[in-house]
Amino acid sequence: MNTEEKIFNAARIVFQKKGFAGTRMQEIADEAGINKAMLHYCFKNKQLLFEAVFMNAFSQLAPQINAIFNSDETVFEKITRFTHSYISFVLLNPFLPPFVIQEMNNNPEFVKTFFKNKNTPDPSQLIDQIKKEIALGIIKPVNPKQLVLDIFAMTVFPFAAQMMVKGILHVSDSEFNQMMEERKTTIAEQIINSIKK
């Protein structure tokens, strides 16, 4: 692993744990086991290092999601596949959703430019497909955007609000993971069941 990779991984760990504002460049350097000046040598400044980490996080998720959203499967198949593979992925990267959500909420102006230029999840094709399947009588008449929001809510929320969920439901880390394993299949069944005619 070269220095740039060491820095990047260290930055990912620290940024995802403490957020942009809470992160100290020195802490990243310590985590990487190198001198602080190397951070600036390799990534210019804190903002650019952060953006590299943030973009990378998003670019891990976006293609996976879009591949599912834009495939030629049915809506039901897409819902099943999305929830399953998203939860599988996030169980391996549990800090990702809170990180992305937090930094988006804290940098609203950055979000606007971000969603115009970059490779982002785009459910517009799925939304069109939902409209079609409603017209065909496969799906009950629902607001397609609300349906997409429901799918994200059911899959992403438990990870986004991890600490609060564990606190309120009084579940341990392992119980939490077990619940998420269960959700891999139950969420899709539930959503499909509530919209199929």
Partner DNA sequence: TTTTAGTTTAACCATCTGGTTAATATGCGA
Partner DNA sequence: TCGCATATTAACCAGATGGTTAAACTAAAA
Of 36-44, 68-76, 103-111, 123-131, the window that binds DNA (rule: CB under 7 A) is: 36-44
Of 6-14, 29-37, 71-79, 163-171, the window that binds a second copy (rule: CB under 8 A) is: 163-171
Torsion of CA 167, 168, 170, 174, to 10 degrees: -60
CB of 23 to DNA, least distance (A): 6
Contact between 38 and DNA by CB under 7 A: the answer reads: yes
Token pair of 58 as six digits? 């998003």
100 interacts with, out of DNA, a second copy, none, CB within 5 to 8 A per kind: a second copy
Contact 75, 82 (CB under 8 A): no
Torsion of CA 72, 152, 14, 174, to 10 degrees: -100
Contact between 45 and DNA by CB under 7 A: the answer reads: yes
Write down the residue that tokens 């998720």 correspond to.
61
Of 7-15, 43-51, 95-103, 128-136, the window that binds a second copy (rule: CB under 8 A) is: 95-103
CB of 147 to a second copy, least distance (A): 10
Q: Is 21 exposed, middle or buried (0-12, 13-18, 19+ CB in 10 A)?
A: exposed
Other CB atoms within a 10 A radius of the CB of residue 37 amount to: 10
Contact between 17 and DNA by CB under 7 A: the answer reads: no
CB of 3 to a second copy, least distance (A): 27
Write down the residue that tokens 């929830």 correspond to.
83
Residues near DNA (CB under 7 A): 3, 23-26, 34-38, 40-41, 44-47
